[in-house]
Amino acid sequence: MRYAREGRAGSPPRHERLIDRLESMMMAALRPEHEGYYGQLILGTDDLAEMSELKDVRRAAGEAGRRLGWKTTTRLVGGRLFILDEREVPERIERLAGDAAAAAMDRFWDESRGPRPA
The pTM assigned to this predicted structure is 0.76
What does the pLDDT read at residue 82?
A: 98
More confident: 114 or 71:
71
The angle at the Cα of 45, spanning 85 to 15, to the nearest 5 degrees, equals 65
CA distance 49 to 44: 9
Strand partners, 75: 82
What pLDDT band is residue 5 in, cutting at 50, 70 and 90? Answer: very low
What does the pLDDT read at residue 9?
A: 56
What does the pLDDT read at residue 6?
A: 42
